[in-house]
Every structure is written in C-alpha cells, then in structure tokens.
Structure 1
Amino acid sequence: MARSTNQRPHISARAAALQGNSLGELFQLARERGAIDMALGTPGYPEPAAGIIQAAHDALGAGRNQYVFPPGDLALRERIAEGLPTPTDPRTEVTVTVGATEALCIALLAVIDPGDEVVLLDPGYEQFRAAITLAGGVPRSVALREPDWRLEPADLAAAFGPRTRAVLLNSPGNPTGRVLTPQELGSIAELAQTWDTTVICDEVYGSFVFDGRLSTSITEVPGLAERSIVVGSLSKDYAISGWRLGFLRADAERTKTLRHVQEVTTNGTAAPLQVAVGAAAASADLKVAAEEMARRRDLALEIFTGMGMRITPAEGGCFLLADVSALTGGRMDGRAFTFELLDATGVLVVPGASSFADPARGANYVRIAFNRQVGVLDEVARRVRSFRPAGEQRGV
C-alpha cells in the first residue's frame, strides 16, 4: 500500500530535540538594517595575517587542491603541536577537523553512548547542549555562581553519578569570560578519577587571557592530562573563521578512535588552507593580538557599564555577559532589550537566556562580543551614549 503523502516524515528523537540556533532571526534583522554586529564572535579583530593569505594563494596555485591525509596536513599538525603547552606527538595525537564544531561532535560521539550523562558548566555555549543531545547524551548542568561565575565544589560533585561518562569544559568561557583556575580544575580531576570520566575542554580562546593570568590547559593538570581531549580552533587566533580549521588533541589511543569517527563525518578538511596555516602561522603575532584584545575588552566594558549594565570583566576570550536589569529597571528582559537597542541605535547584542540551562535564570542578560576594531567600538560608543530603554516587555 502506498504511503499517504499527508503523513509527516519520521525524524529521529535526537534530531527532533534540537532547537536550532537562537540567533538566526536577529542576524537576519541586523543584516536588513545594516546594524553594527556586537553579537557574533566572528573576529573583527585581529585581521588575518597577510602571510597566511598569501600562503593560501600559493597553495592553490601550486595544485594543493585534492584530498589530504584525513587527520590533517603534517606541517599543520606540527605547527599545532608546537603551540600546545605540553609535549604532543603531531603524528599520533593531533587531528585536524572542520572547525572546533566538528571536533566537539567527534569527541562526544567517541566517548558517550545514548543515555550517558555529560557534566557541563552553566551558563555556557548553547551549542554544547545541542551537541550532547545529538550524540544521544544527557546534559547535567552545574550552575556557576553570580556575579563572578565561580564554580562551587559541592555543586560540581552533585552532578556526577554512575552514568557520567564525560565532562565538557570551556576555558576561557563563552559567554562568561571565566578562566578556570588550577584549583577548580583540580576539583574536576578528583571527580573524573573517582568516576572514571573523560574530560573534554574547548580551549579555543586560550590565546586571549588578560590581566596577567595564565590559561591552564587540562593537559597540564594531574588527573586530567591522562583522560583529556582538547578541542581547539585556528579561527580566533588567526581570524580565519571561514576557513573552518579546528583540531583535537588526545593521547594516541583515544586519537585512533577520534580519527575513526572523523572518517565517517568529513574525512578531512580543505587541503590548501591547511597547507597555508602550516606554512605561515608564524607571520601572526599572537602576543600582540592578546594585548590588543585586552584593550578592546576594556573599551567595551567602559561603553556598556557606562550605560548602566552590570558586568564582571572577562578574564579571557572575546565576550562580556552583561546584566541589563539595573539599566531597564525591570521593565523588559534581555530579549526585549536587545530589540529596543537595535531599533534605537542600530547596535546588535545577543539575548543571554539561550546560554543558560534554565532560560529564566538568564532572562536579564545579554552577550556582547568585543573582538572588534577600535573604530567600530568608538562608533558603538557614539550610538549608545544617549540611549535609555523606555519600552515594556515585548512579545518577540
């Protein structure tokens, strides 16, 4: 019997549970209005190094346009290994991926089975929860304590149990800008050892740490090093987010499994772009970029705290998480505020609720990206200087 065309197609439960990116509507509206984007983490600063761009031209012209060994061009893996804080074998412990997004999905697919639990910090990058869901896992959120987004050991311990298979971290964090301390990582290490848990850490913002702090990789922490998978990216360091180059760093045994999963996802990423970064990454000055990023953080803090937002200064990364309740007087939440700010000034920020496991907890927050050119920040300051929110809650 022919199937009725009125029946809805079958969708897997894990796919049906995905909510989609919360930013699509906002970005479409911002594009239509020519708004200043202070929402997306796409680098406005730094600019791509001229040497890397030229190296890409050279690689394309030299015919490096076919498949590369799926784990990645060796010269690029060597370059990545050189930049890591602990000794790493580029041949057996580094895998190049299609951005950090693929790296994260590969890591989760490699270590959890459907129904397994994954501990993660809250608030956090909203795509983490979606990636866990897609892999069949169950997120177990640990609330970071306001206003400075600290991790309480008791809260962390309560999240672990017999089904805990992985911990998913992000340091420096999106959206909080928190850099996890060696003490916090030590607490995670103790629990990971007790429950025999793999620890995955997104360290994509590790080059941008401020105020004399040092970013501690999980590969440097006893108890984590031997059970770690690092998710990395070249997007922010080298301002080449459109090239989609990320990587995984893990011990040789885990790397074998990660590469098997990669073989049935993308089986590798763009060869000439890998060659370009491997050849010319040294032309980018990451030390200067970090210093300049701190300057931009300070400018953004001055602009938005000057408006009346409450913000704990980011310790690293490229985002501020701002509480707008004092500015709005409770008349609107972060989403309504975002639209009113966009309408009045042409400046786009992001409602913070989607970064929280319980959106109500994040209702009064917005996220602001500060990896922008100074001229852009100056224009934002000019536009928002006289802004005062006046609207009531808006049903959008």
Structure 2
Amino acid sequence: MAYSTAQRSPVSSRAAVLQGSSLGELLLLARRRHAIDLAVGTPGYPEPSADLLKAAADAMQAGRNQYDHPSGDLLLRERIAETLTPGADPHTELTITVGATEALCVALLATVDPGDEVILLDPGYEQFRAAVALAGAVPRFVPLHPPTWRYDPADLAAAFSPRTRAVLLNSPANPTGRVLDHTELDEIAALCERCDATVICDEVYGTYVFDGRPSLSVSEVPGLAERSIVVGSLSKSHAISGWRLGFLRADAVRTEALRRVHELTTNGAATPLQVAVGMAALSMDLRIATEQMGRCRDMAQTIFSRLGMKFAPAEGGCYLFADVSSLTGGQHGGKQFVLELLDEAGVLLAPGAPFFADPARGEQYVRIAFNRQTDVLREVEHRILGG
C-alpha cells in the first residue's frame, strides 16, 4: 500500500485557527513598568472574604482533597440553586465546572455539530469566537451599533438559517456593558423557537446590574427558558477567579449531555474549593457588593469622560467600552492610544479591535475594567488627569 509523503501539519485545523490572548504582550509591558492594569477583568474588587479562605483551609485539613462527584459538590449546587430565579433542581439541572471557560466549551460541544451555525452578537468577548471554532461550528455575526450597542432586528432575523443550532449571548456583556432587555430576549426567543435553536447565555456578570434595572436571565423568559443553557461563575461575584469555579444550568435532558462532556474534559472542579464556597461564600451580601461596584462604575465614567472619551453608561458588568476617536483625531487606532497612555501615565487599557469579528470596526475603541478598589481608581485619576 502506498502512502502519501506530503508533509502534514502536526496540529489539527481546529487548533491552528486559535489565537492566544490579544493582551499578553501588553500585560508584560505593563508589569515591567509597574502600571495600573485596567485591561483585564481580574477582580480588584470585591476581595475574597476571610470566612471563605478559612473554609477552604478547613476543607483541606478535614481531608476533602480527593475527587467529588463530577457534577459537583451537592451542597454547593444547592446553595447556587437558592440564588437563582427561577429556582433550579440541584440534582438534575446544575453542573459545577472548572470556571465559565470550561462551561462555555462544554455547552457548545454538547449542543452543536461541526458545520452547524452559531449566532453571536458583535462586538463580543473574543473567547466566544474561539470556542465556536474549537467546536467546529460556523459563526454568524449580528452587528451591534454604537453608541448604545443594540442590534437591528432585521439583521438578527437575517442571521438565522436552517443550519442555526445555537445563539451565544452574554448579558451583562463584555465588552459593551449592555444588559439585554425583555424586548430583545423575546425577539431572540421567537427566532429560536422557529429554528429550534438553543440559546447559550453567559451570565457571569449577572450580579452586577446598575441603576435599578432588573437582572434578567434567559431562564426567566418564556420561549427561552425551556431551550436555554446558562453559563455562570463565582469568579467575579466572589473575587475567586483563580479558584476556577463555574456552573451550567439547563433542563434535565441537556444537563445529562453536559455532564457527559464535562466528565471527559475535566472530570470535576477542585473539591475543597467547592466545599468552601458551599459552606461560606454564598452568605456574602451581594447587594452591598453591587452597590459598591456601581460606585466604581460612576468613578470610572467620570474619570474617562473628563479625559474626553465617549461611551454609553455601563448597564451592568465591570467594563466601559469607550470611543477614543476624539482623542486620536482618527490618526491612529485604539492600540496606539493604549500604548501612549501606558507610556505617559502608567495606566493600561485594552484595545477594542480584538472584540470585533472585523477588527477595523473596533479601531477607535478601548475597554476599561472598573472592578477595582476606589483607591486604585483615584490613583488612575491622578495619573491621567493630574491634580
């Protein structure tokens, strides 16, 4: 039997299209210059509670250091179920994952086949595009229009096709700070019902919704609730991003499939950390944390609007998405502006272009993380505005 001698790539086509974080090089520069990092969403506020840290140590000392059930510690699932609206069955509808990143990949792998289409709003979290590619699916982008970052209903309807298998949402959104409202979710529900598509919604910032607006989960929306997978996380709400604790919420049939994929990817999250969160963390007063995060948002909006940036107020989450064209004169893009601000003031922001399917659309935008302590934001104000 003759074999081809043509050289083949040592990596799969799926892996070949994946790219590393667009912030890697900038973060190295920022660390060398001891800059203030407002680029990544790693929480600087709130801080993990002392009770939570003690609970983790106690769980380890008590011997909870081996595998737990792959679906997650039951007490933690019960505690999470108590926080959800509407409530969820912790036995059949919740799965603990290794952060929201694994949850997202598991949700896609359990829902779509190679060649299926997944609808995404654009701009959006850049990891969404990579996760869709890793699943072998085809992205269909629906443009969001500045400054309010809403879609045109005609564009949304046009994105659906007989090949549509899923819609991937994020509310509150990274990077725009938008919170999808009931009208938008009803529109998406009607289209998903027509095409028998699943909606996968990343709700990791759902704790932080501002100005009295409701925090609306897809699990509360008729037409979406019965065809939804919610991606959740404790990373931002409890400031434990390094613990890698996320979760998936879905109906019992979908959950069975999610758990099978989850078992093959990680077999489960860290046992003592799950036990600790179940015992301690969910007793935190998240209302107080949200009020303080709103004050952080207000500080950041005041600082950067005084600098001359233009943006819609963040409705939720922990980011501002700002137009810097009035500061650049349109002569150069957001990345050059970010480098100049880093050089001149020692403050690092994230360039906006990587959040767009077509990076040219994002050349004049930057993302600003405001989940920081107030003294850090005051230092940012001093560095960029003086006084």
Q: TM-score, normalised by structure 1?
A: 0.95
Amino acid at match of 2:299: L
1:390 paired residue number: none
Cα distance in 1 for partners of 2:199, 2:223 equals 10
Question: What runs of 5+ residues in structure 2 fail to find an aligned partner?
Answer: none
1:331 paired residue number: 331
1:121 paired residue number: 121
2:32 paired residue number: 32
Structure 1 residue 282: Cα displacement = 3.6
Amino acid at match of 1:256: E
Structure 1 residue 8: Cα displacement = 6.8
What is the SS of the residue equivalent to 2:236? helix
Structure 1 residue 31: Cα displacement = 1.1
Cα distance in 2 for partners of 1:55, 1:159 equals 48
2:220 paired residue number: 220
**1:349-360 mapped onto 2 (5 Å cutoff):** 349-360=349-360
**1:1-396 mapped onto 2 (5 Å cutoff):** 9-385=9-385
Using a 3 Å threshold, how does the CA distance of structure 1 residues 282 and 106 change in structure 2: closer, same or farther?
closer
Cα distance in 2 for partners of 1:147, 1:282 equals 36
Cα distance in 1 for partners of 2:142, 2:215 equals 21
What CA deviation, in whole Å up to 9, does each residue of 1:8-41 have, x standing for no partner? Answer: 7421111111122111111111111111000110
Structure 1 residue 152: Cα displacement = 1.9
Structure 1 residue 150: Cα displacement = 1.2
What is the SS of the residue equivalent to 2:102? helix
Cα distance in 2 for partners of 1:232, 1:176 equals 19
Structure 1 residue 7: Cα displacement = 5.8
Root-mean-square deviation (Å) = 1.4
What is the SS of the residue equivalent to 1:10? coil
Cα distance in 1 for partners of 2:220, 2:261 equals 26
Structure 1 residue 86: Cα displacement = 0.9
Using a 3 Å threshold, how does the CA distance of structure 1 residues 336 and 119 change in structure 2: closer, same or farther?
same
Amino acid at match of 2:219: T
What is the SS of the residue equivalent to 1:366? strand
What CA deviation, in whole Å up to 9, does each residue of 1:77-125 have, x standing for no partner? Answer: 0011111111210011000000000000000000101111000111100
Amino acid at match of 1:204: V
Using a 3 Å threshold, how does the CA distance of structure 1 residues 282 and 108 change in structure 2: closer, same or farther?
closer
What CA deviation, in whole Å up to 9, does each residue of 1:173-228 have, x standing for no partner? Answer: 00000000000000000000000000000000001000000111000000000000
Cα distance in 1 for partners of 2:147, 2:347 equals 25
Cα distance in 2 for partners of 1:36, 1:114 equals 42
Aligned length: 383
Indicate the percent of aligned positions where both proteins have the same amino acid.
Answer: 68
Cα distance in 1 for partners of 2:67, 2:19 equals 34
Amino acid at match of 2:136: G
Cα distance in 1 for partners of 2:190, 2:365 equals 32
Cα distance in 1 for partners of 2:187, 2:146 equals 19
What is the SS of the residue equivalent to 1:237? coil
Which contiguous aligned blocks of 4+ residues in structure 1 show a shift greater than 4 angstroms?
6-9
